[in-house]
Amino acid sequence: MAGEDARIALVVAVAENDVIGWQGGLAWHQSSDLKFFRKVTMNKPLIMGRKTFESIGKPLDGRDNIVVTRNTSFQAPGILIAANLEDALVLAREKARARGADEISVIGGAQIYELTLPVADRIYLSEIHYSPDGDTFFPRINKAQWREISRERHAAGAKDAADYSFVVLERIR
């Protein structure tokens, strides 16, 4: 299942109050989640919005970085530009086919998640057991459309802000 058949997977860390960001960055530091993120996105095409790319500050290695932006003059070394989500998905499917990847990772921000949620097949959800201040939120998931296929609860490590759970959801077809 590569290329045309590649699954669309949202990869997101969400606090108990649905917060995903604060002032252009993350609302917490969760080292364990960053390692999980790297594991589930490596060797796959990534789709992200411009603000998410700018908050990361550089292309993520080992992955095709596709940035969705309406800013026609935006460019950065090591990234591919798409004018809209539809173009980004076409490009991501080409890159998935070239890599032999079975999945396209959508990594934010809120607007990209909202646009992609209706067509997503899977969600890699890091539930952060914490309710921080935030100004960016993950869209509500219609739980009737998703089934939980795995859940691992973890205590906060030395470099984590809070306890967390790694959850994988699949769309009910």
pLDDT digits (tens, 9 = 90+) for 22-73: 998 889 999 999 999 999 999 999 999 999 999 999 999 999 999 999 998 9
Instruction: Return the percentage of the chain with pLDDT > 90, whole number.
Output: 94
CATH class of 3-171: alpha beta
Residue 1: the pLDDT is 46
Mean predicted confidence (pLDDT) in 100-111: 97
Beta strand residue intervals within the chain, DSSP E: 7-15, 19-21, 45-49, 64-68, 79-82, 103-106, 122-128, 136-137, 146-154, 164-171
Phi-psi region of 57 (alpha: psi -120 to 50; beta: other; left: phi over 0): left
Residue 173: the pLDDT is 87
For residue 129, the one-letter residue type is H
**Domain extents for the chain?**
3-171
Confidence of residue 2 (pLDDT cuts 50, 70, 90): low
Pairing assessment for the beta strands 103-106 and 122-128 based on DSSP bridges = unpaired
pLDDT by residue (tens digit) across 74-95? 999 999 999 999 999 999 999 9
Instruction: Return the percentage of the chain with pLDDT > 70, whole number.
Output: 98
